[in-house]
Amino acid sequence: MPEAIGQLGWRDSRGLARPNGPRAVPRALFALSHTRLVQRLTYVLIALYALTFAHLSVLQHQSHNTHAFDLGNMDQAVWNTANGRPFEFTNWEGGRTRLAAHVEPILLPIALLYRLFSGPETLLVLQAVVISLGALPAFWLARDKLRNDFAAITFASAYLLAPELEAANLSDFHPVSLASSLLLFAFYFLHRDRYLLFSLFALLAMMTKEQVPLSVACLGLYLVVVKRRPRLGWAVVGGALLYFLVAFFVVLPLNNPTRASPYLSRYDQLGSSPIEVVKTLLTEPGKAFPAKALPAKLLYLRELFAPVAFLAWLSPLTLLPALPDLFINLLSSFEPMYSGGSHYSAVIIPFIIIASIDGLTLLGTLIARFAIRAVQPFIYAVSGVVLVLSVFSYYNSVVLPLSDNFPTVTDHHCLLPEILAQLPPDAAVSASTTLNPHVSRRQRLYLFPDYQEAEYVLVDVTASPHPLDYAAFHWRVTALLNGGEWGWIEAKDGYLLLKRGEPNRPLPPEFFTFTRPRDTRIERPLSATFGENVQLLGFALAPGEVLHQKDGGARLQLFFRADGRVARDYLVGVTAVANGEQVSAQYWWPATLWYPMTRWGDEVVMVEVPRVALAGQPWVDVYLSLHEPLQNNRPGARLPVRASSNLDTRDDQLWLVRLRGDYW
Given a cut of 90, whether residue 215 has pLDDT beyond it is yes
Buried residues in 313-328 as b, exposed as e (16+ CB within 10 A): ebbeebbbbbbbbbeb
Least confident of 170-179, 295-304, 355-364, 518-527: 518-527
- CA dist 97 and 355 (Å) reads 37
H or E element, residue 559? strand 553-562
Residue ranges of alpha helices (H) inside 565-652 are 590-594
Query: What is the pLDDT, as a whole number, of residue 307?
Result: 97
* Residue 83 CB-density burial (10 A; 0-12 exposed, 13-18 middle, 19+ buried): middle
pLDDT-derived band at 20 (thresholds 50, 70, 90) equals: very low
In order of their start, the domains of the chain are: 2-65+119-404 (no CATH), 427-513 (no CATH), 516-661 (2.60.40)
Lowest mean pLDDT among 28-42, 388-402, 546-560: 28-42
What DSSP letter does each residue of 87-110 carry, written as one string? Answer: TB--S-TT-SBGGGT---TTHHHH
Q: Residue 28 has what pLDDT?
A: 47
The reported pLDDT for the residue numbered 1 is 36
pLDDT of residue 50: 98
CA pair distance 309, 356, nearest whole angstrom:
8
Q: What is the pLDDT of residue 415?
A: 97
β partners of residue 347: none
Tell me what percent of the residues of the chain surpass a pLDDT of 70: 95
| 94 has a pLDDT exceeding 90 | no
Q: Which of 496, 519, 495 is nearest to 606 (CA)?
A: 519
Handedness of CA 447, 451, 455, 459 (dihedral sign): positive
**Separation of alpha carbons 538 and 654, rounded Å:** 12
- Given a cut of 80, is residue 14 above it in pLDDT? no
Cα angle value 384/388/392 (rounded, 5°): 170
Phi, psi (rounded to 5 degrees) for 330: -70, -30
Burial class of residue 16, CB neighbours in 10 A (0-12, 13-18, 19+): middle
Tell me, what DSSP letter sits at residue 28?
-
Is residue 615's pLDDT more than 90?
A: no
Q: What is the pLDDT of residue 34?
A: 67
Closest C-alpha among 454, 460, 472 to residue 511: 460
| Ranges assigned E (strand) in 448-533 | 456-460, 486-492, 495-500, 524-530
CA distances (Å), origin 4, targets 10, 17, 380: 12, 11, 22
Asked if residues 349 and 165 have their Cβ atoms less than 8 Å apart, the reply is yes
Query: Which value, in Å, is the radius of gyration of the alpha carbons in the chain?
Result: 28
Question: Contact, 256 vs 95, CB < 8 A?
Answer: yes
What confidence score (pLDDT) does residue 104 get?
97
Neighbours of 606 (CB within 10 A): 19
If one counts every other C-beta atom within 10 angstroms of the C-beta of residue 334, the result is: 13
Taking residues 244-263, what's their average pLDDT?
93
Please return the burial class of 302, using the count of CB atoms within 10 Å of its CB with bins 0-12, 13-18 and 19+.
exposed
Instruction: Give the up-direction half-sphere exposure of residue 111: CA atoms within 13 A in the CB hemisphere.
Output: 20
Element (H, E) at 342: none
- 40-44 long-range contacts (CB < 8 A, ≥24 apart) are 41/153, 42/135, 42/136, 42/139, 42/152, 42/153, 42/156
Give the pLDDT score at 646.
83
The model's pTM: 0.92
Name the strand (E) or helix (H) holding 617: none
> Is the Cβ–Cβ distance between 81 and 98 less than 8 Å?
no
Spell out the alpha helix ranges (H) of 321-409: 323-331, 348-368, 375-394, 400-404
What's residue 281's pLDDT? 86
When mean pLDDT is compared over 60-74, 363-377, 630-644, the highest value belongs to: 60-74
- Are the C-beta atoms of 381 and 460 separated by less than 8 Å? no
Of residues 27 and 248, the one with the higher pLDDT is 248
- Please report the pLDDT score of residue 12 as a whole number: 39
Least confident of 281-295, 304-318, 329-343, 438-452: 281-295
Helices 120-133 and 35-62 cross at an angle (nearest 10°) of 160
pLDDT at 273: 82
The per-residue pLDDT for range 156-206, each reduced to its tens digit, is 999 999 999 999 999 999 999 999 999 999 999 999 999 999 999 999 999
**How deeply is 435 buried, as exposed, middle or buried, from its count of CB atoms within 10 A (0-12, 13-18, 19+)?**
buried
CA angle 423, 425, 427 (to 5 degrees): 70
Residue 486: per-residue pLDDT: 96
Whether 524 and 518 have beta carbons less than 8 Å apart is answered as no
- Output the pLDDT for position 4: 36
Residue 616: predicted pLDDT: 84
Bigger pLDDT: 529 vs 282: 529
AA letter at 238: G
Nearest to 26 by CA among 46, 12, 42: 12
What are the pLDDT digits (tens) for 569-609?
999 999 999 998 999 999 999 999 999 999 998 899 999 99
Please, which residues have CB within 8 angstroms of residue 96's CB and are 6 or more apart in sequence?
Answer: 88, 89, 90
Q: SS3 for 296?
A: helix
Q: Any idea what DSSP says for residue 438?
A: G
Average pLDDT over residues 487-510: 96
**Residues 126-135: pLDDT tens digits?**
999 999 999 9
Could you tell me if 86 and 188 are in contact, meaning their C-beta atoms sit under 8 angstroms apart?
Answer: no
Asked whether 169 and 57 are in contact (CB, 8 A), the reply is yes
Read off the pLDDT of residues 263-304 as tens digits, 9 standing for 90 and up: 998 998 888 888 888 888 888 888 888 878 888 999 999 999
Per-residue pLDDT at 23: 53
Mean pLDDT within 636-643: 93
pLDDT tens, 445-477?
999 999 989 999 999 999 999 999 999 999 999
Cβ neighbours around 576 below 10 Å, total: 22
Sequence-distant (≥ 6) Cβ neighbours of residue 255 within 8 angstroms: 95, 97, 99, 100
